[in-house]
Amino acid sequence: MRPRPLLLPLLLLLACAAHTVGALPRLCDVLQVLREERDQCLQELSKEKPGDPGVEQPAPGCEGLWDNMSCWPSSALGQTVEVGCPQFLRMLTGRNGSVFRNCTEDGWSEAFPRPDLACGVNVNDSSNEKRHEYLLKLKVMYTVGYSSSLVMLLVALSVLCAFRRLHCTRNYIHMHLFVSFILRALSNFIKDAVLFSSDDVAHCDAHRVGCKLVMAFFQYCIMANYAWLLVEGLYLHTLLVISFFSEKKCLQGFVALGWGSPAVFVASWAISRHFLEDVGCWDINANASIWWVIRGPVILSILINFILFINILRILMRKLRTQETRGNEANHYKRLAKSTLLLIPLFGVHYIIFAFSPEDAMEVQLFFELALGSFQGLVVAILYCFLNGEVQLEVQKKWRQWHVRMGDAVDVKAADGIQKEEEGGRELAPEHQGETNECDLVPEEDHETQEPPGREDERDEEEDTAHSPLAP
């Protein structure tokens, strides 16, 4: 007896749904593994056919069988044959199990327990449909998150590049961080487009090299983003701990760390995958030792950043306590809370929650890493560009300059009109002669520089805050 005809399509459909957000191997890889197992099984079964010299023939009973999922060797009557879970099911669940068949006079019995149940996948479980809906919603969330982050990061990067007065080491590091977030968002979109472009096995064979290159680029962008989060932490910690240091040399070292170190680890991972685990599109990480070539440095950077975060908070608390004479205790804790909230997205402290998470917490981990993590670039762009005091002052200055230039253009046009009227012999009526507009008595530059009383002190305070190393 053969297995239920609908069991395999249902399992493949579950694989396709689960991989929607990269949670599990894609359907293309599952089909590829099934094809390889089928070819290997048919090759082994062909050796068992009678007539081959030198091959011991089995006793009369059940012939070898490929049931579209598992390979069953020839068996004598009355024997029970045990085989392991199909590899594609192990790819889906990560669990090992066994399936049995009895060799009877009528042939092979039905496989027991049912393969999907024995290997941890119940196609009749109603929770599968709910899980599918959850993964689809998760995909929508991280698509919206990465799209909004990409737009805001591009605008923020353009602003920091446009104003020369904002060109300093701190903002250079922010700009590199913005670029790493942009590459991370783009790599996610490219990866999804390649992995979900087609589930045909022939398509997988035709585009396998390109697919592997895309996965290598994706891993590089992820590692570069973590590396620049670490650079932000190292730079801020250096500012608070070391009084004098060469920022130019420091920036060169940070660039090498942020862009160079990920290239070394990703190249090592790609070489290891090519020679030791060249399976599918390299989106399956079955070999833990190879996967740790990338996972290890990422976890190490998260731990270092978390330690830096704790130490910076300790330094901030000590510095703020020495300034309590200038304000009350409530203001002290308010400033500390503000500094903490600003540092969390910059350091990626939230990643420490799932740095050592077990595999059974995958759905919750996906929610934090994909749904919420996709908005991290948006938050960083807002906090460290659009809410930055220096950026706001520069934008306001440019806006006032543009407003003054527009006002000058309007005055020139008005003067030309008056001159034409005078040439035509038109004169003002006697009762209107001598009248002027009060705004015309004020020079144009006074419109720009004149400020209400007390504004200069506020401006000085804003500039001090903007130039502080803890300013966003």
Please give, one letter per residue, the 3-state secondary structure of 374-431.
Answer: HHHHHHHHHHHHHCCHHHHHHHHHHHHHHHHHHHHHHHHHHHHHHHHHHHCCCCCCHH
Confidence of residue 187 (pLDDT cuts 50, 70, 90): very high
Question: Would you state the pLDDT for residue 431?
Answer: 43
Radius of gyration of the chain (CA): 33
- Calpha distance 140→146 (Å, rounded): 10
Report the pLDDT value the prediction gives residue 452, as an integer from 0 to 100: 43
Q: According to the model, what pLDDT value does residue 5 have?
A: 45
Q: Are 224 and 259 in contact (CB under 8 A)?
A: yes
Mean pLDDT calculated for residue range 251-280: 92
**pLDDT for position 182:** 96
- The one-letter amino acid code at 406 reads M
CB-based contacts of 293: which residues, under 8 Å, 6+ apart?
Answer: 265, 268, 269, 272
The DSSP letter of residue 119 is T
If you count them, how many residues does the chain have? Answer: 472
Give yes or no on whether 7-45+58-118 and 131-392 have one common fold: no
Please give the biggest Cα pair distance in the chain: 129
The region of weakest confidence among 121-125, 142-146, 273-277, 465-469 is 465-469
pTM over 0.85: no
Query: Which amino acid makes up residue 203?
Result: H
Average pLDDT along the chain: 74
Mean pLDDT across 341-369: 64
Higher pLDDT, 456 or 274: 274
Identify whether the C-beta of residue 110 lies closer than 8 Å to the C-beta of residue 32. no
Strand-pairing partners, residue 80, are: 102
Question: Would you say domain 7-45+58-118 falls under CATH 1.10.10.10?
Answer: no
Overall fold of domain 131-392 = Rhopdopsin 7-helix transmembrane proteins (1.20.1070)
C-alpha count within 13 angstroms, C-beta hemisphere, residue 127: 2
Burial classification of residue 302, based on how many CB atoms lie within 10 Å of its CB (0-12 exposed, 13-18 middle, 19 or more buried): buried
Tell how strand 61-62 and strand 75-76 pair up.
antiparallel
Task: Look at 56-60, 227-231, 295-299, 431-435 and tell me which has the smallest mean pLDDT.
Answer: 431-435
What residue ranges do the domains of the chain occupy? 7-45+58-118, 131-392
Residue 389: per-residue pLDDT: 84
Between 414 and 104, the higher pLDDT residue: 104
Q: What percent of the chain has pLDDT over 70?
A: 63
Q: How confident is the model at residue 469 (pLDDT cuts 50, 70, 90)?
A: very low
Side-chain half-sphere CA neighbours of 248 within 13 A: 0
